[in-house]
Amino acid sequence: MKSQLKKLIELAWQLETRAADASWPEAELKLFQNKLASFPDSRIAAWATHLTPGMSLKHFQALIVPLEREYQKNPSDEDFLVTSLDIKNRERKIIPLQLALANWRSGFNVGSLFRTADGLGVEHLHLLGYTATPENTAVKKTALGSDESVSWSSQAKTEESLHNLKAQGFYLIAFETSPRAKTLSEKFPHTKSVMLFGNERFGLNPEELKLCDEIRSIPMSGIKNSLNVAVCAALAIYEWKKQWEMN
């Protein structure tokens, strides 16, 4: 079943690449749908009925993300020797910063950010869209227990969640590569804030960006125009925390 799953994912990635060019090739889509429908796991096979030529890219991604998570059983931090013990009875020093993760495909990225959030005192994580929650095995393994020290919530509708956060008085900061983005080192407003990070490949959509009070980016010096999203978030949290504590 492992090899069948790998072939399914490879087909899905091919389709996703074509969809980025606003094209759903009928023959390839039908092939993927047939292979999905005949998959030995009936739960996965049932998803075939949700594939249609008129579906959006986000709809397609929401279907293939569970396939990726099932297949990608990669080594994580918990597979390696830990040379120091956690301090279980230490009280976390909380900063008035929350994070919103919109449609993160990798459970390992989510788990990694839980550890970062715990270590830097982030108040809360909003897991939006199809972002994996700590019930996911990859998140649980990579978080190494930090999902129990950092509060979190899950919301299927990203824009609705952002509206609610604005209504609660949070200052929303989107991280995206954009010509109008401020750099990370510029001064942040000294107020309770939420940092929003989008999908690892596609980032945030225009509607989500419009709801934010500002956009930030991290200047790059290499051939790649962005960092891994969990690494980007870690740098952003650290800079915000540093500025907050200096005020």
Where do the domains of the chain lie?
A: 2-71, 92-246
Instruction: Please write the tens of the pLDDT for every residue from 49-76.
Output: 888 888 888 888 888 877 777 766 544 4
Mean pLDDT over the full length of the chain? 87
Coil, strand, or helix at residue 238? helix
What pLDDT digit, counting tens, does each position of 88-97 carry? 666 789 999 9
| Closest of 106, 109, 123, 103 to residue 207, by C-alpha | 103
Which residue, 146, 113, 132, is CA-closest to 236? Answer: 113
User: Dihedral sign, CA of 158, 163, 166, 167?
Assistant: negative
- Judged against a pLDDT cut of 60, whether residue 233 lies above it is answered with yes
What pTM, to 2 d.p., does this model score? 0.72
- What would the two tokens of residue 7 be? 């072939």
* Rounded distance between C-alpha atoms, residue 26 and residue 209, angstroms: 33
Report the CATH architecture of 92-246: 3-Layer(aba) Sandwich (3.40)
